[in-house]
Amino acid sequence: MIGRNVGIVFNNKHLVSQEALSTKVYDYYNNKKDDRNLAQATDGYVHHHFGLGPTLPHENIIEEIQRQENALTSHIISLLGIKQDATVLDIACGRGGNMFRVADEFPNSTVTGINITEYQTKYCNDQIALRELKSRLEVNQGDFLDMPYQDESFTNSYCCEVTQYALDLKPLFDEVYRTMKKGGKFIIATWCYNADSTSDRVKEIVEPINDHYASTMHSNKTYAAKLIEAGFKIVHDEDRTEDLIPYWELRKEWSMASGIEDEFIEGHKDGTLLYKFFIGTKKA
């Protein structure tokens, strides 16, 4: 059965096939519109990822959550090591929070996004037009397992909390490798489960999260193995689990809490859940 990682089989119904998973993901994000991500984006950057603590003194929970999510984006940008003339791919770009940050900070770069949904693709391209960035930004609707880009198109690629929408990581990493220039750098930011945890505890924490986010969570060891199998050299493996705990504790206080906060807090505190950054490079 697909959904198997180091002997663990998750029982979530959308994990019977990649088609079932992708359909659930499409429905979830195509209808995710008047949500907390949009409500907190008063600075114009709509994120679809978590945030890096610690929590600073604050009066407004929404502003602090947005600050922490921007901090995570800043960390991705620092890991990418983007040069001014970079060609950057944002895989499953959501409503463009990371993409627009990259474009604003590197005005001579070009940034391409790919997104599975009609709504988010249109949202991004409407924002690109409003920001007068059509000459160097575009978002295409498509499948990240079969991307409409030529071989060796991008110097830098990243995916932020989207790898959990690939039932098998290898086909996704193969596509990233194919579309990356030699010497290119691929950044992954992701939540994953600890392969050394007991299977019963992993299922207790992971299955509610998989149901909530229409996802399939992979283990930390699976990421490393599949990156190497796809041809990448892993040059960075960073654990930021402790920094996610203050973020989730803050999310739990918000009136727009999702109801999944306890699983993340408990899982991060006992080590069942990890938050990782991986960097893979393509041999020059």
Percent of the chain with pLDDT over 90: 90
3-state class (DSSP) for residue 66: helix
The Cβ of residue 7 has, within 10 Å, a number of other Cβ atoms equal to: 9
pLDDT exceeds cutoff 50 at 124: yes
Q: How far apart are CA 235 and CA 104, in angstroms?
A: 27
Provide the token pair at 104: 């604003």
Q: How far apart are CA 149 and CA 84, in angstroms?
A: 21
Residue 265 contacts residue 205 (beta carbons within 8 Å): no
Q: Say what the pTM is.
A: 0.93
Burial of residue 65, with CB atoms counted within 10 A of its CB: 0-12 exposed, 13-18 middle, 19 or more buried: buried
Cα 50 versus chain centre, distance: 9
Q: Which residues of 155-188 are buried (b: 16+ CB within 10 A; e: fewer)?
A: bbbbbbbbbbbbbbbebbbebbbbbbbeebbbbb
Domains and CATH numbers, the chain: 4-281 (3.40.50.150)
Query: What pLDDT does residue 1 have?
Result: 28
Query: What pLDDT does residue 5 have?
Result: 43
Instruction: Tell me the pLDDT tens digit for each residue of 3-32.
Output: 334 458 899 999 999 999 999 999 999 999
Pick the most confident of 3-17, 44-58, 166-180.
166-180
Instruction: Tell me the pLDDT tens digit for each residue of 139-161.
Output: 999 999 999 999 999 999 999 99
The helix or strand, by DSSP H or E, that contains position 137, with its residue range, turns out to be strand 137-141
Q: How far apart are CA 182 and CA 188, in angstroms?
A: 18
Q: How far apart are CA 281 and CA 180, in angstroms?
A: 9
Residue labelled with tokens 């992954």: 188
Nearest to 45, CA basis, from 25, 72, 27: 72
